[in-house]
Amino acid sequence: MPRVTVDVARGKTELVPRWTCDAGDYVVAAEVSRDGRLCVVGAGDGHVLGLDVATGRELFRQRAHEGGVFGVSVSPDGGRFATCGQEPNAKVWSATGALVRELPGGGAQWVEHVAWAPAGGRIATGAGRKVRVWDSEGAPIVETEPLPSTVSNLAWRADGTALATTCYGGVHIWPFVAGAKARRFEWKGSLISLAWSPDAKVIACGSQDSSVHFWRLATGQDSEMNGYPFKPKALAWDSESKLLATSGDATVTVWDFRGKGPEGTRPIQLVSHKAVCTRLAFSPSKGVLASGAQDTSILLWEPRRGTQPVRYAFLEDEVTALSWHPEHGGLLGGDASGRLCFWEVN
């Protein structure tokens, strides 16, 4: 396993752990609730954990799915969360870890994606070629026509009024506003990652052909960023929708959407990881970017101020999950060995 060597600039100070714990298996997904009190973790052995953010105390540990967990999504009020995994149903749980309801995938063997709308009223699931949307109580609202291929990603518009999905062949947008029409943006390739800008103006996707494609929704204009050595599986927008961070190499590449950019501009290159970047997350309230990599390192950057990392930390294996406290009060990270750590940031 490659590691960051001591002679590499790793930032000014090491992050201080508030707590650490063992999830028991590969950390597949982790999310901190919007109120900053609960973090929910999905593991490769099918368990889901609830942890107190302040202390790291384990609140519950449930066998959520027969096989591994694929995704977790916490409701905006923090009162419930949803999971999906190697099982035909997604599941809704209370904040104490009690099963509330199952959401059938519609015949597919596994439900591979789940996303709770930011406005709170809807839950989306992706299974096979179908997308289903449910209300917060688990009652079905709509099921889409089968997509051309398997659903590869889900992302809600920031105000919860539309849902974007990807598959081989492009992006589909399903509106939840009276009179609005569904839209489709075609792309001859398989889209493996998806990030909808917070201002709802741009959808960016990583592609199987090691490029990043994006569409400006007002005009439908599209552009492509290429030259990545590996598939860009991680994408992250800053809170102002001005910077898009992309993976696809040990170097983190940040594109600036201010002015006429990013077309015709040179990206910001953040160099310090010694292996491929696997996770990216911008702080929701600051212009701080967290990146995690196969070399176990986690680095914090301020791309608008400079190209050297400002803080650093390490886990014990490849970084597989990053989630910020909603008020920049800390950062949660998980790795392939099952290690979890919450670091103080302020």
Is pLDDT of 199 > 90? yes
Number of H helices, E strands in the chain: 0, 33
Cα distance between residue 159 and residue 176, in whole Å: 11
Q: What is the predicted pLDDT for the residue at 196?
A: 98
Taking 90 as the threshold, does the pLDDT of residue 203 lie above it? yes
In angstroms, the CA 116 to CA 37 distance is 18
pLDDT digits (tens, 9 = 90+) for 97-146: 999 999 998 888 899 999 999 986 899 999 999 999 999 888 999 999 89
**Is residue 328 very low, low, confident or very high in pLDDT (cuts 50, 70, 90)?**
confident
Task: Using the predicted structure, report yes or no on whether residue 316 has a pLDDT greater than 60.
Answer: yes
Place of tokens 């109580």: 137
Distance, in Å, from the CA atom of 330 to the CA atom of 166, rounded to the nearest integer, reads 31
Distance CA 56, CA 53 (A): 6
Residue 11 has a pLDDT of 56
Distance in angstroms (rounded) separating the CA atoms of residues 261 and 242: 9
Q: What is the pLDDT of residue 120?
A: 65
Residue 70 has a pLDDT of 98
Segment 28-54 shows an average pLDDT of 97
CA 29 to chain centre: 8
Q: What is the mean pLDDT of the chain?
A: 93
Nearest to 20 by CA among 332, 328, 336: 332
Which pLDDT band, with edges at 50, 70 and 90, does 50 fall under? very high
CA dist 49 and 58 (Å) reads: 7
Whole-angstrom Cα distance, residue 231 to residue 322? 19
**252-273 tens-digit pLDDT:** 999 999 988 898 889 999 999 9
**Is residue 65's pLDDT more than 60?**
yes
Check residue 329 and give its pLDDT. Answer: 84
Residue pair 197/237 in contact (Cβ under 8 Å)? The answer is yes
d(C-alpha 296, C-alpha 342), whole Å = 15
Closest C-alpha among 325, 238, 242 to residue 19? 325
Amino acid at 297: S
CB burial of 111-125 (b: ≥16 within 10 Å; e: otherwise) equals: bbbbbbbbeebbbbb
User: What average pLDDT does the segment 293-318 reach?
Assistant: 96
